[in-house]
Amino acid sequence: MKFRPLHDRVVVKRTESDEKTAGGIIIPDTAKEKPQQGEVVAVGPGGRDETGKLTPLDVKAGDAVLFGKWSGTEVKIDGVEYLIMKESDIMGVLEGAAAKKKAA
């Protein structure tokens, strides 16, 4: 991807949700809600405080994150859908999620 976010913005790619419920019922595409978790693809250099000093972001590329339902702006880059949001829109980092994904 040839996109670099500015300031405290983060580019997130949504992770695909399961096609079935825990009981084995298949969920059609029309009934699915958009997932509220994703993987950080790119991060900006950070925000500036009152004195002008650069404050680095807490998230980094590759982190699995949880964000709000209406967070970010949806964009398409090279035919792939991404969300661009401020770091403050991210609720938290899912620990161990990236390790489970790599093992699978």
Among 2-11, 53-62, 65-74, 94-103, which stretch is predicted with the lowest mean pLDDT?
Answer: 94-103
Superfamily of domain 9-88: GroES chaperonin (2.30.33.40)
Contacts of the segment 13-16: beta carbons below 8 A, 24+ positions apart: 13/38, 13/39, 13/41, 13/80, 13/81, 13/82, 13/83, 14/38, 14/81, 14/83, 15/39, 15/64
Grade residue 99 by pLDDT with cuts at 50, 70 and 90.
Answer: very low
Residue 22 confidence (pLDDT) above 90 = no
Residue 98 confidence (pLDDT) above 80 = no
Residue 94 confidence (pLDDT) above 50 = yes
